[in-house]
Chains A and B, each alone.
Chain A
Amino acid sequence: MSRQQSINSSQTPTPTTAQSPLSRSLKATGEEVWKRTEKINAELFTLTYGAIVSQLCTDYGRDFVKINEQLYQMGYSIGVRLIEDFLARTALPRCQGMQETSEALSKCAFKVFLNITPRVTNWSSGKDAFSLIIDDNPLSDFVELPMDAMEQLWYSNVLCGVLKGALEMVQLDCDVFFVSDILRGDQQTELRVKLNKILKDEIPIGED
């Protein structure tokens, strides 16, 4: 999933990244960046993730609470770096409000990295929490959970960690967790994002 190298670093620079995302909709930005992204085999990705989860199951002796935690932690470490990659590709500015954040997530971020566009629903009354309904989760293709895992394991928990880490890097302190998962026999896969608070930018000592 590495970025297409469109210009050689020793040459004079020419336009590479999307310009002025404000003038175009987030959807168009997402689609355009996706077109320019190098593609890899989705099955390879799905199977690699499956191998990681099954290895964790062995390592933690099927203690699914710990496995969830570990997947979340792995996701967090991915997210804090992935956000830079995302911003470098899309050149998006900070979002104004959660409404815009939800659109940037579903139409740009998920589109660029996984080529899916989750639906945004279930807004809380204060507009600070929303759900992403993931219909075609590429992480869980071909997966059927064994009986003991169905109760506790959030198979795609890595996604929660990624969102948490990435949002934190743009000063949005959020709680991200799964509410339901098709793998566990639910109707749909629902990921909940809840804003705790907007973090303040640091200022140099002596400025306040």
Chain B
Amino acid sequence: MTIYSFWIFDKHCNCIYDREWTLLANPKSGTTNSKQNDDISKLLYGIIFSLRSVTGKLSSTETGRTNEISSISTGRFRIHTYCTATGLWFVLLTDFKPFNYSKVLQHIYSDIFVKYITNNYLSPYDFAQSEGEKRGQGTRKITNRHFKNNLELFLEPMISS
């Protein structure tokens, strides 16, 4: 399994964290919270957003349950998503080999995000601080050192194995 990049979107449609690895041999390579990835993050958000509304409409109404997307695959790679009820999206781009990354994303949410961002009262719980930063127009990112270090440590073994 190989992972290419990792993204977090908040409920205001903003990308609040992005991490892209460029050299598979070097887990320290690549960019974090890069400006250059702004457009890509918007496209990625759009793909998932559209597919979510499609699958929402296609799901049977009997159970009354929303039909969440777990992964989207293309010829070259796969997009894995984990969405929480509070509207956070955790997105991981990997190679196309089938592997269930939902546990990985759930772990990132419950043991890294909640621990270092939510339970950290000095970090904002909502990254949009004004009306003008909502609806995909915000630019604030997670810069917390603990969060970053622990995330790197956790994902490192998966970059090229």
Taking CB atoms and an 8 Å cut-off, the chain B residues in 30-58 that contact chain A are: 42, 45-46, 49
Query: Min CB distance, B9 to chain A, in Å?
Result: 10
At the interface, yes or no: B72 with Cβ under 8 Å from chain A? no
In the bound assembly, the distance between CA atoms of A159 and B111 in angstroms comes to: 25
Stretch at the interface among A58-66, A83-91, A131-139, A177-185: A83-91
CB contact under 8 A between A205 and B137, given known A22-B65, A88-B109: yes
- Contact present for A16 and B107 (CB under 8 Å): yes
In the bound assembly, the distance between CA atoms of A204 and B119 in angstroms comes to: 28
Query: Min CB distance, B51 to chain A, in Å?
Result: 14
A residues contacting the other copy or chain, number (CB 8 A): 34
Question: Which of B42, B135, B150: most chain A Cβ within 10 A?
Answer: B135
- Contact present for A9 and B84 (CB under 8 Å): no
Stretch at the interface among A46-54, A92-100, A108-116, A148-156: A92-100
- List A contacts of B60 (CB < 8 A): none
In the bound assembly, the distance between CA atoms of A118 and B128 in angstroms comes to: 35
- A–B pairs, 18, beta carbons within 8 Å: A3-B110, A3-B111, A10-B154, A13-B103, A15-B103, A16-B103, A17-B110, A81-B118, A81-B125, A84-B84, A84-B118, A85-B119, A87-B85, A87-B86, A88-B110, A88-B113, A96-B64, A204-B136
User: Interface on A for B, CB 8 Å cutoff?
Assistant: 3, 5, 7, 9-10, 12-17, 22, 80-81, 83-85, 87-89, 91-94, 96, 169-171, 201-205, 207
What 6 A-B pairs come out closest when comparing CB atoms? A88-B110, A204-B136, A84-B118, A204-B13, A88-B114, A94-B85
